[in-house]
Amino acid sequence: MFDGAKHIVHSLSGLGKTGYYVSCDYGTQNATVFLLWCRDKEGKWICCREYYHSGRDGGGQKTDAEYADDLKEWLDGIEPLKIIIDPAAASFIAELKKRKYKTKKAKNDVLDGIRYVASLLSLEKIGIYEKCTHTLEEFASYIWDEKASQRGEDKPVKQRDHCADAVRYFCYTVIRRPEGITILK
C-alpha cells in the first residue's frame, strides 16, 4: 500500500508543536528503533524523526541505560505523551519508567496490525518524513514469507522490519479504536 508519491512528506512546517508520541521496537542484536509521531494541520499522523541503532551492523550492543540516554538526546527537549513500546522489552520499559517516561505496551497483533497500517496508508492518514531513511527503506523491502504462504499462513519475513514494527505499534495502539478505523480530523 505504500506509495512514495502519496506517503513521503517533504516538509515538517505543518506539524503541531505538541502531542508527540514515540513508538519503539527494541532489540539488543537486532536494531532498536524510535519513531517520533505528530499530527499535521489536517490531522494526518506524520513520522517526523527516526533513531536507528543495530548491534549487528558494527555499532556494538548498547545497554538499556545507553538507549535511554540516546532517547533523551534524540528527543531534544520534546516530552512525548507516551512511548509506545514492544511489549517484550521489559527491561527497557523498566529503565524508561525509572526515568519518568510514560510508556504503553504496544498492541502486538501482527496480522491485524499490518492490515490496519495498510488501511491507514490507503486512506492517506499517515505519512513518513523523507529523512526517516530506514523507515522508508523498510517499506520498500517488507515482504511476506513465501514458505509460510505455501503452508496457508500469512506471515511477514522477520528481517529488516524493525521500523515497520514501530510503525505498526504506533498505528495499532494509538490511532486504532475498538470500533475500527478512526477518521482523523
Mean pLDDT of all residues belonging to the chain: 85
Asked whether residue 23 carries a pLDDT value surpassing 90, the answer given is yes
If we measure between CA atoms, which residue out of 122, 111, 106, 121 comes closest to residue 155? 111
pLDDT at 166: 94
Residue 57 near residue 27 (C-beta atoms within 8 A): no
Residue 31 near residue 162 (C-beta atoms within 8 A): yes
pLDDT at 17: 82
Which residue would you say has higher pLDDT here, 154 or 169?
169
Mean pLDDT of 45-72: 91
Where along the chain do its domains lie?
4-175
| Topology of domain 4-175, CATH | Nucleotidyltransferase; domain 5 (3.30.420)
Mean pLDDT of 95-108: 95
The whole model's pTM is what? 0.86
